[in-house]
Amino acid sequence: LAVNVTANWRLIRSLDPLLRASSAGRAVFLSSGAGHRSQLNAYWGPYAVSKAALDALARTYAAETVNTSAVRVMLVNPGPLRTKMRAAAMPGEDPLSLRTPEELAPKIVAMCAPDWRETGKLYDFPQDKILSFRGPQ
């Protein structure tokens, strides 16, 4: 919670005036499918809760800034990536079967560009799609 929620809330609180003063303020948050998928995994509760809270925090900030001409807020679901954290969480998984953070980076850079217009949405890297959040059906 300290890293996934509190730290991001403090960043928003501290950087909001600068983002609003910018001609292209961008905030991109790294989410996880663990926080918004309908089927949750056993023993992943604290992580899933922290990512769901981050999703709500970022979406709320997007709603608070939707009428600004400059601020755009996005969430990114990187999916499974070849990282040390993933290797520790999923021992035995073949890391060579996973995409790398370097493959995701250009997508995040694009969301930080002045011409980016989407806000309050989720970019799902595994699907390479921008998704809108929706309630249960």
| 95 phi and psi angles, rounded to 5 deg | -65, -25
47 a catalytic residue: yes
CA distance 122 to 77: 7
Q: Of 43, 47, 61, 123, which one is the catalytic site residue?
A: 47
Contact 25, 74 (CB under 8 A): no
What would the two tokens of residue 64 be? 């608070």
Specify the residue for token string 């989410």.
Answer: 31
Tell me the HSE value of 8 on the side-chain side, using a 13 A CA sphere: 24
Per this entry, what is the length of the chain?
A: 137
* Nearest C-alpha neighbor of 134 from the set 4, 62, 36: 36
Active site positions, annotated: 47
